[in-house]
Structure 1
């Protein structure tokens, strides 16, 4: 049964005119009302109705770029690189496309809503950046929306996100396991055996894969791990600071902190300084991503450099059909260990 505008209005408890205003963006609507309408659109999977359905196979000049947090340089760098590639020979109106950056705030519900709205707008391409939420129900819902986008002629690219089977999405996943293992191997080679780990949110693929790489390095070296020495938080400086304070309270003899990204690492360094500990003389700290500030920190951060600009640019070219898709639709993007001043040998070695 076809879902109508009236069905959405009834679900959101607003008038059909209000639904139209929200979807067309041509009239101001209260934020709470807008959220309610968008949730109803997503719940009912409302896309097109009436005569407009005849246009379902057509695509517009719109390109959607989904990010978790546009204020995070990790996502900003990729979004900028993607946007730089969406014009050119493949576009219309002088080679330009309209890029819309959709900031989900890490909300699974917002991610689904944006995908629905981009489908409704018949986007030429959609690029999803960063890790995925690890929830089977959400994953199935996202896969369903990606299939419908592809069926309508939209190119779908996953940049920094694991491949999604049974969809036509091209995937350029980051080698988070391999990079994390190399990072921990580096610390082990410096004599560290008492390593604290500050992870990201537990429901993210990036978090799990980086933690798995860390565990693999410890296991290979025969280093036993205390579960209390792994603390989860957000991918930001505040979480790094608070998690390090927690590690210092439970991890006696801590000699190194492995942070799941560079922002966390900065917070860890600040907490260690406030505790009267020197980096790296007393505690080494390493990060991940090699964000622009990492080389300017004092001391400069040892980290795994991900080619965020290059990966984003490639995703943009594939999305615009200006670069061939990799064999099998998946190409692993590897990082590179960058050793700087924040890591050093254990004292006495």
Structure 2
């Protein structure tokens, strides 16, 4: 027969209410008493009924982490950082793979709310479009109304329908626009004037912000955007290959390619090699994110570094309340240009 709370109370010589107070940590109890309770719990191998605790309280010990693609190193590094921040706490982090589906993201939010999750961390760019945005705001408002928290990691801050801040929501936002602007400016400084760009999925805020930074750098340099073609990718290797083929078809004299992320940049490198083009001798290539494989690419990839693991840890701490909220509810994570061997001067 399973050990009950009453069994623990008898072993510790206290009332069941005192045991509940010690285990929930929501009421001051003398240290000696608390030690007796914890000792009794260990001796009897008592396991707290998490579902009952959630019903008695407003939330459980569950933290939801929503990612677009659990197999993508970008999200893997962030999720690992989030779990690192929770390793010392008495919480369970559950990673939910949305497959970049806006509908699945909303469904997971509903399920986590039904499970009385203490918090949820939404990672990666959000879907552009008023329909999904309005539905997301509604879901988050219902989630936080119960006292739960929402952390946006790697996506822009989210406001309510009235344009004001959403209570219980904080954002760890990546400076995608300025990072991309600095990367393209680096290529311009090397003499490149025909720079192709591989953007990500059109409906993602990350794609829009990084493309915007690229276009701003072209404007800063007085380069007509029409001379620098843009092709779509899905932020993965295969679409990166296809995107570079499209760029070369439209601009055979291309001297540089900027990819919206490192995965697409790997595809670009592969396609250029298959065509007998040297990187960076014939075409320079750059990515974004500085994922672990970027240093080992051939040649080593010039990219924009986001401290993903640190951003994940910060998001995890905000989710469990072990770190104070940033001013205004928004913490902007700065990016860093990392110059490696895949970029060089315009071919002589």
Match of 2:133 among 131, 139, 157: 139
Displacement, 1:229?
Answer: 1.2
Instruction: Give the structure 2 partner of residue 117 of structure 1.
Output: 111
The one-character-per-residue Cα deviations of 1:164-218 (angstroms, maximum 9, x if unpaired) are 0132210011000000000000000000000010000000000000000000000
Which residue matches 1:75?
75
Q: Deviations over 1:259-299 (max 9, x none)?
A: 00001001001111111110000100000000000001111
CA distance in 2, matches of 1:86, 1:192: 46
Aligned to 1:8: none
Aligned mates of 2:95, 2:239 — CA distance in 1: 26
Correspondence for 2:273: 273
Q: CA shift at 1:56, angstroms?
A: 9.0
- The answer as to whether partners of 1:228 and 1:250 remain within 8 angstroms in 2 is no
Query: Is the CA contact 2:195–2:228 (under 8 Å) kept in the aligned structure 1?
Result: no
RMSD: 1.5
What residue in structure 2 maps to residue 21 of structure 1? none
Aligned-partner SS, 2:122: strand
d(CA) in 1 for partners of 2:216 and 2:246?
Answer: 24
Partner of 1:165: 159
**1:199-245: CA deviations, max 9, x gaps?**
00000000000000000000010001227810112010001101111
Displaced runs of 4+ in structure 1, greater than 6 A? none
Aligned counterparts of 2:87 and 2:60: Cα–Cα separation in 1:
13
Q: Secondary structure at the match of 1:301?
A: coil
The answer to whether structure 1 residue 296 and structure 2 residue 296 are counterparts is yes
Q: Report the Cα offset of residue 249 of structure 1.
A: 1.1
Kept in 1, the 8 Å contact 2:151–2:318? The answer is: yes
Q: Which string of whole-angstrom CA distances, capped at 9 and with x for unpartnered residues, describes residues 24-57 of structure 1?
A: xxxxxxxxxxxxxxxxxxxxxxxxxxxx9x9496
Partner of 2:23: none
After TM superposition, give the deviation of residue 96 of structure 1 in Å: 2.4
Q: Does 1:182 align with 2:176?
A: no
Gaps (5+ residues) in structure 2? 1-51, 161-165
In structure 2, the partner of 1:211 is: 211
The 5 A counterparts of 1:182-331 are: 182-226=182-226, 229-331=229-331
The 3-state SS of whatever aligns with 1:295 is helix
SS at match of 1:331: strand
TM value normalised by structure 1:
0.81
Matched, 1:340 2:340: yes
Q: Secondary structure at the match of 1:64?
A: strand
Mapped contact 1:56–1:152 kept (Cα < 8 A): no
Matched, 1:96 2:90: yes
CA distance in 1, matches of 2:57, 2:155: 26
Bigger shift: residues 79-88 or 199-208: 79-88
Task: Write the distance in 2 (CA, Å) between the matches of 1:249 and 1:68.
Answer: 31
Larger radius of gyration between Structure 1 and Structure 2? 2
Would you say how many aligned residue pairs link Structure 1 and Structure 2?
290
| Cα distance between partner residues in 2 of 1:120 and 1:321 | 21
User: How far does residue 84 in structure 1 lie from its aligned partner after superposition?
Assistant: 1.4
